[in-house]
Amino acid sequence: MARPTVAGNWKMNTSLAEAKSLARDLRASIGDINGIDRVLCPPFPYLMLVRETVAGSSIGIGAQNMNYQEKGAFTGEVSPSMVAELCDYVILGHSERRALYGETDESVNLKVEAALKAGLKPILCVGETLAQREAGAAESIVGKQITKALDGVENASSLVVAYEPVWAIGTGVPATPELAAEIMGGVIQRNLIALYGEPAALEVPLLYGGSVNPDSVQGFMEQGCIHGALVGGASLKPEDFAHIVRTTAGVKGVS
């Protein structure tokens, strides 16, 4: 079975002091749980601090983005090897980056390849907008995002895929577990199986993201094809994030 995984996407939030206190609280509450990967994704300037704060625990660190190029005259950008010195994971293709910063399936593909080459685990984000869902295009959009992002990627062993319907992100209104499972156990899993074969595809952790909170997490985790969560707003509240991690571990039978 794919390893249960819960990642917190802090987005552009927290001060240095808040980042330290959040990481310290989480280290105390979820630093030593076995059988489930816990990943904190703070803003770039706090990666080092957060990494040092959780050092010695089994909490992983992730970045929220990176450039695909190795080095050079790219003012303001961060390379895969820079990220890999501090992180285990990198979130790629988040819908906010697609909508606000011009990320395309092609650039996400370059980033996934570069992340893997640098030894990082990409958390590849896919998901349809409300307009796409209402037009009946959710499946085809997500299928295209998956196949394009993974074009040329031969090995699935370090991949994590997050299904985040855009209309559920930051709205306080999550998708239903059934709707998420329809996409995740459907078009996402089908494409992964077509690309990598069933045994390897079934080892890829599939995370649901979009307004996950302590109240909604259980229903998502009860779906067999959902192995964890990518959490935005609730990841900034240490009790909420710890609750989401513990519920996931409990439902998946690893704690």
Please, which residue, 22 or 234, has the CB nearer to ligand PGA?
Answer: 234
Nearer CB in complex with ligand PGA: 157/171: 171
Spatial distance between the Cα atoms of 59 and 81, rounded to a whole number of angstroms: 20
122 binds ligand PGA (CB under 6 A): no
Query: Which of 65-73, 164-172, 189-197, 242-250 is the region at the interface with ligand PGA (rule: CB under 6 A)?
Result: 164-172
Does position 169 interact with ligand PGA (CB under 6 A)? The reply is: yes
Segment interacting with ligand PGA (CB under 6 A) among 15-23, 73-81, 162-170, 191-199 = 162-170
Question: Is the Cβ of residue 122 or residue 232 nearer to ligand PGA in the bound state?
Answer: 232
CB 226 within 8 A of CB 206: yes
Separation CA 151–CA 129 (nearest Å): 22
Site for ligand PGA contains 207 (CB under 6 A): no
Per-residue CA distances from 75 to 44, 72, 78, 93, 252 (Å): 15, 8, 9, 20, 43
> Using the rule CB under 6 A, is 60 a contact of ligand PGA?
no
164 near ligand PGA, rule: CB under 6 A = yes
Structure tokens at 17: 């002091």
CA-based nearest residue to 32, from 205, 247, 242, 248: 242
User: Is 227 considered catalytic here?
Assistant: no
Q: Which is nearer to ligand PGA, 111 or 195 (CB)?
A: 111
Beta strands in the chain (DSSP E): 5-9, 37-41, 60-63, 89-92, 121-126, 160-163, 206-209, 228-231
- Contact flag: residue 230 with ligand PGA (CB under 6 A): yes
Known catalytic residue: 94?
A: yes
Buried b (16+ CB within 10 A) or exposed e, 50-63: bbebbeebebbbbb
Looking at the Cβ atoms of 39 and 50, the one nearer to ligand PGA is 39
**Residue 228 is a binding residue for ligand PGA (CB under 6 A):** no
Q: Which of 94, 96, 128, 243 is catalytic?
A: 94
Least distance to ligand PGA from the beta carbon of 240, Å? 10
Q: Which backbone phi and psi does 160 adopt, to 5 degrees?
A: -130, 135
Radius of gyration of the chain, Cα coordinates, nearest whole angstrom? 17
Query: Per CB under 6 A, does 209 bind ligand PGA?
Result: yes
Q: C-alpha angle 222/227/232, rounded to 5°? A: 100
Name the residues that contact ligand PGA, by CB under 6 A.
Answer: 9, 164, 169-170, 209-212, 230-234
Catalytically active residues, by annotation: 94, 164
